[in-house]
Structure 1
Amino acid sequence: MVQQITKGIKISVIPRFEGTLINKQRECHAFSYTITIENQSKVPVQLLSRHWIIKDSLKPIEIVEGDGVIGVRPLLPPGEKHAYSSGCLLQSPFGSMEGHYIFRNPNTYEKFKIPIPLFKLHAAFALN
């Protein structure tokens, strides 16, 4: 597990290798990750958007941006958590992901960036 706290927002990530499959006639390695966002600050926050940097050792860096996470823009009062799972396909059995979320304080409308810590993606069969 990888964890980081920034401005009272704790981001925890658990990555997993799910297996190898054929996608568009190419071998791909499927990875999932579960992210828990915990508001440890004293004010409510709302997640507005995400920005991902996906590194695959066999491909150029991929940037993915979007609204919310898995179709929602969770509002987190102090002490609340939101967890979700998602995934990606890599050509290589090795890669990594990192990025950031944009949050807003719904009381003041102030927006701020919270980093998503770098986490490694690796298939166990490829490790020595």
Structure 2
Amino acid sequence: MSEQSGTVTRGVRVRVLARYIKERSNPEDGLWFFAYRVEIANVGESKVQLISRHWIITDGDGHVEEVRGPGVVGEQPLLAPGQSFEYTSACPLPTPFGTMHGSYQMIDEEGERFDATIAPFALSLPNLIN
């Protein structure tokens, strides 16, 4: 089972699909590994470019880690109307459940910066009941 989130901010649609990666996890050592696929689509009417990212990761114990950096997977994609960019990344957790959310800093054709919201999504084992 996968967890999905989606949102649109100023013509930028961000969708995330997360799943547990059993093969890379080691629960005996307190490691649960999750992969997530992100699709960033320009559903607006002007070009936009992704400049940086800001993730907020919360594990099942309530510990929060923030990750900031330029671009995503080494790129700062420029998206014309109708274009999209997809990438896959991963997140190890010390608990079998957690959440992620955040934003991408974007810049439009006029040079105006804005934050495209990444809606919260769960990182959890399949069939985990809270």
Residue of structure 2 equivalent to 1:28: 31
Q: Any stretches of 5+ residues in structure 1 without a counterpart?
A: none
Q: Does 1:124 align with 2:126?
A: yes
Residue of structure 2 equivalent to 1:113: 115
Bigger shift: 44-53 or 56-65? 56-65
Measured against aligned partners, the alpha-carbon deviations of 1:53-85 in whole angstroms (never above 9, x if no partner) come to 000013620000000001000000000000000
Q: Specify the code of the residue in structure 2 equivalent to 1:56.
A: D
Q: Any stretches of 5+ residues in structure 2 without a counterpart?
A: none
Structure with a larger share of its residues in strand: 1
CA contact (8 A) 1:12 1:36 kept: yes
CA distance in structure 1 between the partners assigned to 2:129 and 2:88 by the alignment? 24
Q: Does 1:38 align with 2:41?
A: yes
- Give the Å deviation of 1:21: 2.1
Q: Specify the code of the residue in structure 2 equivalent to 1:113.
A: D
CA distance in structure 2 between the partners assigned to 1:18 and 1:51 by the alignment? 23
Aligned residues: percent identity? 36
Residue of structure 1 equivalent to 2:67: 64
Residue of structure 2 equivalent to 1:9: 12
- Give the Å deviation of 1:2: 1.5
Q: Specify the code of the residue in structure 2 equivalent to 1:111.
A: R
Q: CA RMSD in A?
A: 1.6
Q: Residue 30 of structure 2 aligns to a residue in which SS? A: strand
CA contact (8 A) 1:59 1:91 kept: no
Q: Residue 79 of structure 1 aligns to a residue in which SS? A: coil
How many residue pairs get aligned? The number is: 125
Q: Does 1:100 align with 2:103?
A: yes
CA distance in structure 2 between the partners assigned to 1:49 and 1:62 by the alignment? 17
With structure 2 as the length reference, what TM-score do the two structures score?
0.90
Query: Segments of 4+ in structure 1 off by > 2 A?
Result: 125-128
- Give the Å deviation of 1:127: 3.5
> Where does 1:86-97 land on structure 2 (aligned, <5 Å)?
86-97=89-100
CA distance in structure 1 between the partners assigned to 2:117 and 2:62 by the alignment? 23
Q: Residue 109 of structure 1 aligns to a residue in which SS? A: coil
- Give the Å deviation of 1:125: 5.8
